[in-house]
Amino acid sequence: MALYVETVIDTDMDVLWERTRDPSRHQSWDLRFTSITYLPRAEGESQKFRYATRLLPFLWVAGTGVSAGERQRADGTRVSALRFASGHPLSLLAEGSGYWRYVPGTTGIRFLTGYDYRPRWGRFGALADRLAFRPLMGWATAWSFDRLRLWCERGIHPRAALARALGECALRLAMVLVVLFASPFGPLALAAGAAALAVLLPPLPGTPAARRCRRTPIGRLRAPRLLATLETS
């Protein structure tokens, strides 16, 4: 099943376009990538790029891709499409494609993505993808979209947003541990209640949260025609 994430960002269209299409800015807010680098290209060619994700301090998974964008469309929207692939043996993601849509509205820009990929490692890879990797990718995309929204709307830089998220997680964990070790009666039951409260309490307004994004499309999900023009990465 293809992944879908949508949010509404109250910002200028050119600002949002730059922060999503410029690789140095894109990698600063997108949790799925550690680095994105555009490769040299001739005029008229689609933009090729190289991406990498750091799994451990000295372990990187890299891949390549090709992308294109449409800034001037008759309906006022913009579109960015890409195809990507990784030959790294530790990458569960073998190849895939996706797109971004930028839809101006009265309350802001509907920024949405739809993408899908083919996992490797046969049946084991398909099972691991369905049970763990695909849900994780969906969560990471939504969390990253909200981090981008906070940057555009509130001026909270992605690094500061990450620090806030880590700090808030640490406080919630500390609350559970305090209840667990400080209560002389029924500590497990109290700790379970505190854990549930820590999970269910909404995040602070300046902290990114995947739950703020829509995860299912309204109506039928259709890829833009631009995607069909891109060669396989």
What tens digit of pLDDT does each residue of 61-95 get? 999 999 999 888 888 899 999 999 999 988 999 99
Nearest to 96 by CA among 149, 51, 41, 39: 51
**How far, in Å, CA of 204 to CA of 62, rounded?**
34
Overall CATH class of domain 3-155+209-229: alpha beta
Q: What is the three-class DSSP state of 113?
A: strand
DSSP 181-226: HH-SS-HHHHHHHHHHHHHHSPPPTTS--GGGSB-S-SS-----GG
Tell me the pTM.
0.90
pLDDT digits (tens, 9 = 90+) for 1-52: 799 999 999 999 999 999 999 999 999 999 999 999 999 988 777 899 999 9
Question: Over the Cα atoms of the chain, what is R_g?
Answer: 20
